């Protein structure tokens, strides 16, 4: 097998979440920075977290405010 044809494998790749090392896995990169992992995801923790990405709630409220849902005659 040719050695130059394969990526470098790091058996102790550190996974970071919010600046903290949360686990160590094997990977082709020396470290990974993730936004969501099983320790912070509501499905696994049972906690709900409200995340408003880029003001979507405010945009929705502006769009449907006022008389938007009143019946038109």
The answer to whether residue 5 sits within a structural domain is no
Question: 3 versus 29: which is more confidently predicted?
Answer: 29
Q: How far apart are CA 17 and CA 24, in angstroms?
A: 12
Residue 25: domain span: 10-63
Query: Which tokens go with 29?
Result: 């990169």
Q: With residue 61 as reference, give the H or E element that holds it.
A: helix 56-63
pLDDT of 73 over the 70 cut? no
The answer to whether residue 37 sits within a structural domain is yes
The answer to whether residue 3 sits within a structural domain is no
Question: 24 versus 2: which is more confidently predicted?
Answer: 24
Q: Using pLDDT thresholds of 50, 70 and 90, give the confidence band for residue 72.
A: low
The answer to whether residue 2 sits within a structural domain is no
Per-residue model confidence (pLDDT) at position 16 = 93
pLDDT tens string 20-60: 899 999 999 999 998 888 777 777 777 766 666 667 778 88
């Amino acid at each position: 097998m040719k050695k130059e044809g394969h990526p470098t494998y790091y058996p102790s790749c550190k996974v970071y979440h919010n600046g903290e090392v949360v686990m160590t896995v094997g990977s082709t990169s020396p470290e990974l920075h993730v936004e969501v992992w099983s320790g912070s995801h509501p499905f696994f923790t049972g906690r709900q977290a409200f995340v408003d990405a880029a003001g979507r709630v405010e945009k929705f409220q502006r769009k449907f405010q006022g008389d938007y849902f009143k019946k038109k005659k």
